[in-house]
Amino acid sequence: MTATENQVAEVLLEIFATKGLAQPRLLADTALDQLGLESLDFAQAVIRLEELTGKDPFATGDDYQIKTLSDLAVLYA
Amino acid sequence: MLSSIILEETIPLAQEAVVTRGRPATWEQLRAQAHDMTAAFAALRSRRVGVSFRAAGESYAALAALDKLESDTFLFDAHLPLEEMLALARKLKLGAVLAAPPGGQSSGFSVHELCGEEKWSGSGTVTILTSGSTGEPKAARHTWESLSRPVRKGPDGAAPRWLLTYRPNLYAGLQVMLQCFADRGTLAIPDADMDPRAMAQFMCDAGVQFVSATPSFWRRLLILVDSDLLKRAPLVQITLGGEVVDQPLLDRLKQYFPQVRLAHIYATTELGRCFSVHDGMAGFPASYLGKVLPDRSELRIQDGELLVRSANSMRMYDPHSGQQTLSTDWFATGDLVELKGNRVYFVGRRTDMINVAGSKVYPMEVERVIRVVPGVSDVRVFGKVSSVAGELVACEIVPAPGQDPEALKMRVNQVCRSALSSPQQPRLIKLVDQIGLSAAGKTLRSRTS
């Protein structure tokens, strides 16, 4: 995985930990909608990623097609 | 009211009227100053006058002089830079401003005359300028009568010693001063930058008996100050106000100061003092609803919001302030309440509500859950702007001494997961040394983006 993909994976794993859930194995092509995360978990990840990268790709209101972890990481690369 | 106390009635001349760390003033000095200012400011009689108002004897002397001269007095926060104060004064069409000299140490006021003064209201008034959440100050016009009506005179000769924790130019600060001076007491004024320990020491040194303060003020003292020092203050009465009072704080104060009378007050700048609660319980009895209360106010609940009709309310917003005075005498307070059994509880401010992807979250409900987690000393909950969900719940926690940060966060997460719905659960938890307070001594609630 790329450095950004690893960063995204870490943020997601952190959220699993705070929810008290077992941490899944995350790969670049892991489908995000099958992890059992709610939309608010995703919102939380976006804020955390903004803290880490200084970027919020969702602030522009653009409509992104995000299926995999890699799709999300590309926005922060 | 103030001028008759300071200038005319019997006062304990040698006793201190005002105590600060640096400059105490006796009642005799206060009277002499007020007398001199009445003569010096004779040209301000029956005019619109602003005064840069700080917590010091000379400000109270100036206020008494302006009362005597029946001026329409506008109270400016002394922290406001001169240029901003003059700009605001011009906007309000004032005729003159009494500015304090820079540095804050030397005494006396300089008079700045302004052009374009509007006409006098016809009798002496006192206008409180509040910061307002939008940054545009509101100008709430009271009279000395409306300000002093809630004052309950105590027994003669008691000379109570009051601590001033509120800003002196706002409603609560004026109430404390009037109550203290009506009883010919002593007003103990702490420095603005005192840390909690210095504050407790000051309370002991000044022999403070009566404290009127926000819950946030007390939480900070209880958390950060050695209990032996705090218990040394000769307290007689603690009055809480300005924020919602919760049961754990009331219980803690009762345990710390078993001999103290404990009360909480509901008041706003516009409505004045509305009611008080003395049974040591959070909220207020449902029996308060639908009748005329001792403060001559009436309460009712509409759509979950507290509505009040108050006899102590302001006359109007100043006509030049840009605010509309509502014609109805029932005032929607913006405070959301819940009736549970025979008690009414405050849920939060309408404006503090956090909108998490369409779900309404009240910070206080979340704070109530987190505050009782072992290892948590204090907490504030607020909305964090989210590009995805609108807002998310964020919180700052002051850990108790010796807590492992990660373990504490985990514990908070765990408790919140079981006690709160998903939108209510804090998504961002930060550990901090202390919770920020606003100038009015309330927990800051502003959103962060």
DSSP letter at B448 equals B
Q: How far is B359 from chain A (nearest CA, A)?
A: 11
Distance linking the first and last C-alpha atoms of chain A? 12
User: Same structural domain for residues B383 and B339?
Assistant: no
The answer to whether position B105 is within a domain reads yes
List, for residues B264-287, the tens digit of each pLDDT value. 999 999 999 999 999 999 999 999
Nearest alpha carbon to residue A44 among B405, B448, B426? B426
Residues of chain A neighbouring B409 (CB-CB closer than 8 A): 18
User: Same structural domain for residues B282 and B333?
Assistant: yes
What pLDDT was estimated at residue B383? 94
Pick the CATH number of A3-74 from 1.10.3720.10, 3.40.720.10, 1.10.1200.10, 3.40.50.10860: 1.10.1200.10
Instruction: Tell which phi-psi region holds residue B275, choosing left (phi > 0), alpha (psi between -120 and 50) or beta.
Output: beta
The answer to whether position B153 is within a domain reads no
User: Same structural domain for residues B281 and B309?
Assistant: yes
Residues of chain B neighbouring A32 (CB-CB closer than 8 A): none
The answer to whether position B171 is within a domain reads no
User: Same structural domain for residues B23 and B132?
Assistant: yes
The answer to whether position B160 is within a domain reads no
State the CATH number of the domain containing residue B359. Answer: 3.30.300.30
Distance CA B63, CA B220 (A): 32
Q: How far is A49 from chain B (nearest CA, A)?
A: 12
User: Same structural domain for residues B359 and B346?
Assistant: no
User: Same structural domain for residues B242 and B278?
Assistant: yes
Distance CA B31, CA B14 (A): 11
Residues of chain B neighbouring A44 (CB-CB closer than 8 A): 392, 427-428
Q: How large a percentage of chain A has pLDDT more than 70? A: 100
For the ranges B113-127, B138-152, B242-256, B316-330, the lowest mean pLDDT is seen at: B316-330
State the CATH number of the domain containing residue B51. Answer: 3.40.50.12780
Q: Which of A40, A48, A59 minimises the CB distance to B387?
A: A59
List, for residues B431-444, the tens digit of each pLDDT value. 999 887 776 777 77
Contacts of B255 (CB under 8 A, 6+ apart): none
Look up the ipTM and state it: 0.92
What pLDDT was estimated at residue B192? 81
User: Same structural domain for residues B94 and B225?
Assistant: no
Number of domains in chain B: 3
User: Same structural domain for residues B269 and B417?
Assistant: no
What pLDDT was estimated at residue B447? 61
User: Same structural domain for residues B270 and B283?
Assistant: yes
Q: In the predicted model, what is the mean pLDDT of residues A42-68?
A: 88
Domain that holds residue B362: 353-431
